Chain A
Amino acid sequence: MTTRQRTTVTVNGRVYEREVEPRLTLADFLRHELHLGGTHVGCEHGVCGACNVLIDGRASRSCLTLAVQVDGAQVTTIEGLRNRETGQLHPIQQAFIDEHGMQCGFCTPGFIMTTLEMLAENTNPSDEQIKDALGGNLCRCTGYETILKSVRLAARRLRESSAP
């Protein structure tokens, strides 16, 4: 049983091709095959959101997705956010620093990837919309208030930077 299968995934713009066991999750594929440790593995059953990445632009639990399922897909992880040329952090990352949107930082990549999807669709979200979007991410340091502030700041900066 368990024939290894080829999967070809574009992660942060770079194409990776690997032979993997079908049971390998996308989270473990990123961490152990590609050595991209920024995607954190929390609960491994879809509750905590720490492992959220973008699959074809949509925030998704990488612990509930198999590496073979994303054959041909575009995946974005936290490592893909920094500006490659300038080294500058993404405005969402910078806002989480400026507003202290983390304590231990374990949940942060998941919160940021969820925020990235939300702000890609709407840079002017209400607090209700932010809470609804982030409702599937857990922070055990209970830093929700500063996370909310971080997202508001990121949204404001993104609006200002895209203003004419």
Chain B
Amino acid sequence: MKAAPFDYHAPPTVDSAVALLQRFESEGIDAKVLAGGQSLMPMLNMRVARPQVLIDLGRIAALDYIRTENSMLAIGAMTSKRAAEDSALVRERQPLFHAATQLIGHRPIRNRGTVGGSFAHADPAAEYPAVALVQDIQMKAQGPHGVRVVPAREFFVTYMTTCLEAAEVLTEVRIPALPPGIGWSIQEFAKRDGDLALAGVVATLRVVKGVCEDVRIAAFGVNATAVRLAAAEAALQGRPPTPENFARAAAAGAEALEEPIADVHATPAYRRQLVRVYTGRCLAEASARAT
């Protein structure tokens, strides 16, 4: 349980991090970016990952911030999850993102783990990517050819894979304001609170003139990436927020899922059932919060 040997660089700026990544890419050396290390370090210790070089972003103080930009909330990639959890700005303006943060790991994990790290790591069981799909969060990345902003639906490609190129660094996540009156919910099932979820669901909706509008639902922990449950959304759209309609939407969403992940913790059928149950619960909670 000891990591294989690697070289280590801790550049002071994003520019110097990108330059290092570019150099190693051109030399054919496998370099990996280290953020808080709370997901990467276990993989190194178990030798699931054996990069030749680690580029630690931990010395780039310029990537540690939470600020508003017009209606958006911009969070620097190296901001700790603990800072997001403790931030009044996040709690008041982005209650869904705040609730998602509190579901991630345990306190010591959130103390070291970063907001950007979770997005770039793209674990299928992670909470943030599902929130990102529902809230249209944007990812800002810097690479050799400059800066680009990528929407969540393009950012997450597959299992632990994003659209980031080898010499690109995620620098910021940009969270649009929740529309007025919207109700939200995030719930998950894990064997121990704080462990990776076997499955979880995120939902937002508005209730307008007695019917559900702008219904958005995503599931995580079940497929190679977080996925929007389009069938569940369509089943509830324009209908009254009743337990029967929530159950019908949840069943439609679970039914339409691609074959869920199978592992030692749960069968595909069990994960599908979790999605059905948690979709129903999230819709009920979101509609209760909608004003």
CB atoms of B37 and A66 under 8 A apart: yes
Output the residue of B34, B106, B111 with the most chain A CB within 10 A. B106
CB atoms of B37 and A52 under 8 A apart: no
| Stretch from A54-62, A76-84, A87-95, A148-156 forming part of the interface with B | A54-62
Interface of A is mostly: mixed
CB atoms of A69 and B37 under 8 A apart: yes
| Distance A132 CA – B106 CA, assembled complex (angstroms) | 8
Cβ of A124 < 8 Å from any Cβ of B?
no
Determine how close the nearest CB of chain B comes to the CB of A98; give it in whole angstroms: 25
Cβ of A2 < 8 Å from any Cβ of B?
yes
Determine how close the nearest CB of chain A comes to the CB of B48; give it in whole angstroms: 10
Partner of B108 from the list A3, A52, A71 (CB cut-off 8 Å) is: A52
| Stretch from B52-60, B155-163, B222-230 forming part of the interface with A | B52-60
Number of interface residues of A (CB under 8 A): 34
CB atoms of B56 and A69 under 8 A apart: yes
Interface residues on B, range: 20 to 34
CB atoms of B106 and A136 under 8 A apart: yes
CB atoms of A22 and B7 under 8 A apart: yes
CB contacts (< 8 Å) of B67 on chain A: these are none
Known contacts: A60-B112, A136-B106. The answer to whether A3 contacts B7 by CB under 8 A is yes
Determine how close the nearest CB of chain A comes to the CB of B199; give it in whole angstroms: 20
Residue of B nearest to A45 (CB): B42
CB atoms of B108 and A114 under 8 A apart: yes
CB atoms of A58 and B42 under 8 A apart: no
Determine how close the nearest CB of chain B comes to the CB of A7; give it in whole angstroms: 10
Binary contact track B75-110/A, C-beta < 8 Å → 1, others 0: 000000010000000000000000000000111110
CB atoms of B112 and A2 under 8 A apart: no
Residue of A nearest to B58 (CB): A69
CB atoms of B6 and A136 under 8 A apart: no
Q: Which 6 A-B pairs give the minimum distances between C-beta atoms?
A: A136-B106, A22-B8, A45-B42, A2-B5, A44-B1, A64-B41
Contacts beyond the supplied A2-B5, A22-B6, A71-B10: 19 A-B pairs with Cβ under 8 Å: A1-B52, A23-B2, A23-B4, A25-B3, A44-B1, A44-B45, A45-B42, A45-B46, A46-B38, A46-B109, A59-B108, A61-B38, A61-B112, A63-B41, A64-B112, A65-B37, A66-B37, A136-B108, A136-B109
A residues near B (Cβ < 8 Å) are: 1-3, 5, 21-23, 25, 28, 44-47, 49, 52, 55, 58-61, 63-66, 68-69, 71, 114, 117-118, 132-133, 135-136
